[in-house]
Amino acid sequence: MAVKKIVVWGASGHAKVLRPIIEGKGLRIVALIDQNKDMESFIPGCPIFPALEELPPEETKNAFFAIAVGGDKGRERLHIHERLCARGLSPVTLVHGAAWVAASARLEDGAQVLGMAAVSEEARIGMHSIVNTNASVDHECLIGQGCHIMPGATLAGCVEVGDFATIGSNATILPRIRIGRGAVIGAGAVVTRDVAENVKVVGVPAAPVR
Ligand SMILES: CC(C)(COP(=O)(O)OP(=O)(O)OC[C@H]1O[C@@H](n2cnc3c(N)ncnc32)[C@H](O)[C@@H]1OP(=O)(O)O)[C@@H](O)C(=O)NCCC(=O)NCCS
């Protein structure tokens, strides 16, 4: 059977993290895309292109794609998704072999669950959201699209996270809290109250950054 091909958008550290997960699914990375012209390919024999338009169509026809853009760039990930789908490529969801995703949890297109992360019963991870290394998303949490749950963050049960929000490393969100769209939770924060849209909070208990 022919090996399935995949294009990876982004060639920095996050792409290195995704590579073994992608290859573990039996996919072969045939091209990297990175707008940073100084970036070099870290995969021997795999070309790197500075723009989508330069991707050779014959090599990438019907290929899958993964987006290796981390940080708080959730909106960018969704935009890249639209462009790659328009070229006929298809998104993959990526789950590290050492992560746990409950059978009743739902991962939408392009979602990523990295090593040692846990996604519990009836949780939902939206399109192109990242549950990073060792993060924990407990039962019935609803994570929107383009979110980033950073390494070691803990979301207790029934937490809701709006689209494009980011939860910093080792932050803790208490049960049933609602995090608004585009909100930013600082590293190590303990969130005890709902956070409004586009508000940035830090500290224990978390309060808006002045
Ligand atoms: C919350 C955060 C987004 C704020 O970034 P910022 O807008 O650039 O804010 P600044 O660095 O200007 O800091 C503003 C104030 O908040 C404080 N602060 C920033 N982050 C803080 C945090 N995590 N906890 C407590 N205080 C924090 C700063 O000390 C500063 O206080 P001051 O005004 O008294 O000096 C950022 O610090 C953060 O925690 N990001 C998460 C990073 C992370 O987890 N990365 C993982 C990558 S996978």
Find out whether the beta carbon of 151 lies less than 6 Å from any atom of ligand 1.
Answer: yes
Q: For the chain, what is the domain count? A: 2
- Which CATH number do you get for residue 153? 2.160.10.10
pTM, two decimals, is 0.97
Indicate whether 154 and 192 sit together in one domain: yes
**Domain assignment of residue 171, given as a range:** 94-200
Indicate whether 119 and 63 sit together in one domain: no
Q: How far is the C-alpha of 49 from the C-alpha of 71, rounded, in Å?
A: 22
Please state the rounded mean pLDDT for residues 167-174. 98
Question: Is residue 2 over pLDDT 80?
Answer: no
Indicate whether 83 and 151 sit together in one domain: no
β-pairing, 166-167 vs 148-149, is parallel
- Which CATH number do you get for residue 38? 3.40.50.20
Find out whether the beta carbon of 134 lies less than 6 Å from any atom of ligand 1.
Answer: no
Find out whether the beta carbon of 208 lies less than 6 Å from any atom of ligand 1.
Answer: no
Least confident range from 8-17, 32-41, 147-156: namely: 32-41
